[in-house]
């Protein structure tokens, strides 16, 4: 077990949505030496910037959260960039960590690594049984290469790296940009805008039949920290809450809690994405004792309340 309070820790993406919660969790564990490789200071697709990050941080532990992410539309518009940026960040960061003799490297994958028609619940053993869903396959495959690199480096160099696969995250401070946001913040913004503009209906992509699983961002941060402290194996690990909800049910819940009482119109000409998503989370519990704590409805309410407070401030 690693005592993080005694380690120099570098967090890529530490100034992002998940990163802010993870850095707070490190501080709560007594870790006083946290180096955040901020996006505007370190272009992690550039080898020189990655080398500089290691020189400046003298990191003993690296938690790699940084990623180029977005919803279905963003992935469809920029598949090459989503592939290249995410692949190169991972390759460069892990190679330079090995050369710098970093004690442990924690790589964050994604549920998008899984094949399109993975049986529910998704088990880690099913990871290579097909190709990812087409709209986010370049992103998913780029992230999946982190697992390949991690396992290869462990075999050849004895390098201690682990690979974690979280489901979609949500919570206060999420990305509400309508061009790049994921489904929960996108729906919240859509409902708030409709109430403000007194619209009688909102239009949502797809049929509403697809299912998703979501993990509250505070729970995700705790899961990653537990794995950093306690998990040292080559096998990938799912991070989730162990439930699934249809997009139609999700939209209804968000409309209710946002105060939107109008009609939800489904645009079936737009893609649903992967048909179903839900993880088997037993390995995370067995290996490092993680189990999600936040009730989904309560988590959505907290997210909406935070967004409402920001609307009032602005």
Contact 83, 138 (CB under 8 A): yes
Strand partners, 264: 202
Q: Are 300 and 257 in contact (CB under 8 A)?
A: yes
- Buried b / exposed e over 260-280, threshold 16 CB at 10 Å, is beeebebeeeebbbbebbbbb
Catalytic-residue membership of 139: yes
Q: At what angle do helices 296-313 and 183-196 cross, to 10 degrees?
A: 50
What is the total residue count of the chain? 314
Cα-based distances in Å from 204 to 54, 184, 262, 286, 314: 44, 12, 13, 38, 26
Active-site residue identified among 21, 114, 139, 231? 139
CA atoms within 13 A on the CB side of 274: 28
Give me the numbers of helices (H) and strands (E) for the chain, helices first please: 10, 12
Question: Read out DSSP for 145-180?
Answer: HHHHHHHHHHHHH---EEEEEE-EEE-TT----TTT
Phi (first) and psi of residue 215, to 5 degrees: -125, 125
- The catalytic residues are 139
């Amino acid at each position: 077990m690693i005592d993080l309070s005694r380690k120099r820790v570098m967090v890529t993406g530490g100034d992002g949505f998940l990163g802010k919660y993870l850095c707070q969790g490190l501080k709560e564990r007594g870790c006083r030496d946290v180096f955040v490789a901020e996006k505007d200071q370190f272009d992690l697709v550039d080898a020189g910037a990655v080398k500089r990050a290691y020189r400046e941080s003298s990191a003993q532990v690296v938690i790699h959260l940084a990623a180029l992410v977005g919803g279905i539309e963003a992935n469809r518009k920029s598949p090459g960039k989503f592939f290249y940026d995410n692949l190169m960040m991972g390759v460069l960061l892990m190679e330079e960590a090995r050369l710098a003799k970093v004690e442990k490297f924690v790589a964050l994958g994604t549920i998008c690594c899984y094949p399109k028609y993975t049986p529910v619940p998704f088990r880690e053993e099913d990871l290579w049984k097909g190709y990812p869903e087409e709209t986010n396959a370049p992103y998913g495959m780029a992230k999946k290469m982190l697992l390949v690199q991690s396992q290869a480096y462990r075999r050849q160099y004895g390098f201690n790296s682990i690979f974690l696969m979280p489901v979609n995250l949500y919570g206060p401070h999420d990305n509400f940009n309508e061009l790049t946001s994921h489904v929960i913040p996108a729906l919240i913004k859509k409902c708030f805008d409709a109430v403000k503009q007194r619209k009688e209906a909102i239009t949502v992509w797809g049929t509403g039949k697809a299912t998703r699983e979501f993990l509250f961002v505070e729970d995700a941060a705790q899961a990653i920290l537990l794995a950093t402290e306690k998990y040292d194996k080559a096998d990938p690990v799912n991070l989730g809450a162990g439930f699934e909800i249809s997009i139609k049910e999700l939209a209804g819940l968000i409309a209710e809690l946002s105060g939107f009482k109008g009609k939800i119109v489904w645009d079936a000409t737009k893609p649903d994405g992967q048909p179903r998503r839900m993880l088997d989370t037993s390995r995370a519990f067995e290996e490092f004792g993680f189990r999600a704590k936040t009730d989904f409805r309560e988590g959505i309410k907290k997210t909406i309340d935070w967004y409402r407070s920001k609307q009032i401030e602005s």
